[in-house]
Structures are given as C-alpha cells and as structure tokens.
Amino acid sequence: MEIKQGEPLKNHTSIRIGGPAKFFCAPKNIAELNEALAFEGKKIIIGRGTNLLFADEGYDGLVIKIDECCTSLQIEGETVVVGAGVSLNKLVDTLAEKNLGGLEFLAGIPGSVGGAVVMNAGAWGSEIGTFVKWVKVVSYEGEEKVLRQADLHYSYRSSAIAGVVVEAKLKVKQGADLKLIKEYRSKRKAKHPLDLPNCGSVFKNPKPLIAAKLIEEACCKGLRVGDAKVSEKHANFIVNLGQATSKDVLNLVQLIKSRVKKVDLVPEVKVVLE
Ligand SMILES: Cc1cc2nc3c(=O)[nH]c(=O)nc-3n(C[C@H](O)[C@H](O)[C@H](O)COP(=O)(O)OP(=O)(O)OC[C@H]3O[C@@H](n4cnc5c(N)ncnc54)[C@H](O)[C@@H]3O)c2cc1C
C-alpha cells in the first residue's frame, strides 16, 4: 500500500483547510487497512472530511482515509449492510432505486456512512443512530468486533464507538419517499452556503435553542477573521473565502462564543490540532 508523506490535508476536507500529514494512506481493502493500523505511532481515521478542521501545521502522524476499502452495499430484506466508505447520498439514492426508505433525512449530507455512524449524523428530527442495528469495527490493535446498537450509546452528534468503522447494518423500510429526498436536497441548497468551502454546522444546537439563531441574534453574520467568515446565508456555517487558515477559523469560533452570551456554544466540528 502506498503511504504518502506530506499529503496536504486541505485536499481531504470540505472546508479546504489543513497542512501536510506526516503520513497518509487510503487502504484499498481490509488487509491494507490492517496494515495501516499496524503502523507504529499516532493515527487518525477520516472519511470525507466534512466535519473536520485540521491545523495549518498539519498532522504529525498517519492519516487513514476510509473510502475505497469499504464500499459494499447489500440489501437484505428491510435492512442494508453498507460499507463505511459509501457516501450518504449514494446510500439514499441506491435505497430509493430499490424503493426502500427511512433514511431520506440523510439526503444532501456530504459525509460517509462511517463518519455518520460515528457522529450520529442527523437532520430534520432524525438521527442515523436510531436506524443502526450493528456496527462492525476494527480496533487499533487490528481486532474485528461487531457492536450492537445498545453498545453504541448514541446521543446528539455523538456515540461511544472506538476503533475504525468498516461496515454498518441499518434498518430501512418499504417505500422510498422521492419527493422528500428532493425537498431535503433543495432546502439544503437554499439554506446552506454550498458555493463556498465549509464544514457544515460549526456548533451543536444547545437544545431546545438553535445555534444559528443565537449567532444571528448576536449579530455575528458576516463577521470575518482573515478569510474565514460567518456565512450571511446560515449563521452556523463558517465559510472559507479562499485562503482561510485553521487559526482564522478558531479565532472566529472564539469571537462567536464571546458574543453569544446566552449559552456556552459547543463545537460540532472535530478540531484536530496536532
Ligand atoms: C454542507 C454540509 C452539511 C452538513 N449537514 C449535516 C447535517 O445536516 N447533519 C449532520 O449530522 N452533519 C452534517 N454535516 C457534517 C458531516 O457531513 C457529518 O457529520 C458526516 O457524517 C461526517 O462524515 P465524514 O465522512 O465527512 O466524516 P469526517 O469528517 O471525515 O470525520 C468525522 C469524525 O468521524 C471520524 N470517522 C470518520 N470515518 C470514520 C470511520 N470509518 N471509523 C471511525 N471513525 C471515523 C473521524 O475521525 C472524525 O472524528 C454537514 C457537513 C457539510 C459540509
């Protein structure tokens, strides 16, 4: 397996920020994944990098990208067993082609199944964790385990999953709602600043309050540090105007937090600083 040195992480994150990875690989199969996991030293797993902010200094270890090694998708009655590297959009569309639904709420979320299962991705009042029957993980020691839903301790944008997700079994149901899929995608286009690099919602919603509303009320829309800017379209998005650095984003995050006095906003985006 090829291990690259100095691969720019900005090429693997949706916000287009991140310095060089000391080492970088994208295993093509489980044997190569195990080879990568046997690598001595610090490692991090990434999927599509849509919820990640890497430092400008890069990552001083091995970055393992999960895509090509986990692309299976098998429908078994009213369940689907799907590889961690499959994109959520492909999952939703493949199910829809077979007239299977239940996961329509994932339409338009740009992450991978692996990232979604770990983060408990959700939208429009639903979360993927509710649909998980089991998750197959490979531990950092190379041991394969199947974790049942009860072991995963899902909560808002969080799970107890440790190790690398390679596959998950999800509940689906007969009847895809194509209209809903289309509606969700067009609502995202209308509401989110998809024309500029971003990493999705920066802060978790401090339920029952909504982060975007609090940020807007604190007059943060349009605030800018360097090339990082609070989107005018959706206040909980920070966009990269071109040359934004991780420091710009983190300084902007601090500025927003200091202006929103009602609650202590907690980042949803995973920040990897070293
Ligand atoms: C425009 C936009 C809209 C978004 N909308 C939503 C939304 O509505 N709802 C929502 O929940 N999220 C949303 N997101 C965030 C993001 O898409 C999801 O959290 C997604 O599930 C992350 O998947 P990923 O593959 O990009 O993960 P990454 O960003 O690559 O990683 C996220 C975390 O998961 C870990 N991880 C990734 N893959 C694996 C794996 N196979 N095994 C173990 N750990 C892994 C990483 O180490 C990291 O901690 C949005 C993002 C963008 C850019």
pTM of the complete model: 0.96
73-178 placed in CATH 3.40.50.970: no
Q: Is 158 a catalytic residue?
A: no
How many CB atoms neighbour CB 31 within 10 A? Answer: 11
Q: Is 268 a catalytic residue?
A: yes
Q: Where in the chain is the domain with CATH 3.30.465.10?
A: 73-178
Q: Where in the chain is the domain with CATH 3.90.78.10?
A: 194-265
Ramachandran angles phi, psi of 100, nearest 5°? -115, 140
Ligand 1 midpoint to CA 184 (Å): 18
Nearest 10 degrees: Cα torsion 8, 12, 16, 22: -30
What residues contact 202, with CB distance under 8 A and at least 6 apart? Answer: 211, 236, 237, 238, 253, 256, 267, 268, 269
Ligand 1 midpoint to CA 22 (Å): 22
Ramachandran angles phi, psi of 230, nearest 5°? -70, 120
Catalytic residue among 14, 159, 201, 246: 201
Q: Where in the chain is the domain with CATH 3.30.43.10?
A: 7-65
CB-ligand 1 contact for 50 (6 Å cutoff): yes
Ligand 1 midpoint to CA 47 (Å): 7
Regarding the domain delimited by 7-65, which CATH topology (the fold level of the hierarchy) does it fall under? 3.30.43
Q: Is 157 a catalytic residue?
A: yes
- Which tokens sit at 121? 């991705």
Regarding the domain delimited by 194-265, which CATH topology (the fold level of the hierarchy) does it fall under? 3.90.78
* CA 175 to chain CA mean position, Å: 27
- From first to last of its 274 residues, the chain has per-residue pLDDT tens of 999 999 999 999 999 999 999 999 999 999 999 999 999 999 999 999 999 999 999 999 999 999 999 999 999 999 999 999 999 999 999 999 999 999 999 999 999 999 999 999 999 999 999 999 999 999 988 899 999 999 999 999 999 999 999 999 999 999 999 999 999 999 999 999 999 999 999 999 999 999 999 999 999 999 999 999 999 999 999 999 999 999 999 999 999 999 999 899 999 999 998 6
